[in-house]
Amino acid sequence: MAHGASIQYEPVAEIGGGAYGTVYKARDTESGQFVALKSVRVRTDQNGLPVSTVREVALLKRLEQFDHPNVVR
């Protein structure tokens, strides 16, 4: 993060965790709304990113096309 940059999402509580990351309840510091924030663990190796990480990012990118209040841009 660059020096002086603002943080848009502030973690409030851990909701759950799994093999690929942890999900937090977070507050949008601009709107005050609560959101789910997923922190993904990425283990890189000689071959680049794991296939599971690439799939996760691809799925999240596809969700951008939906106009749904539960999908954060």
- Please indicate if the annotation marks 61 as binding a ligand: no
Classify 2 in phi/psi space as left (phi over 0), alpha (psi -120 to 50) or beta.
Answer: beta
CA-to-CA separations, 12 to 3, 37, 44, 55, 71, in angstroms, rounded: 23, 10, 28, 27, 19
Annotated binding site: 38
- Indicate the annotated binding residues for ATP: 38
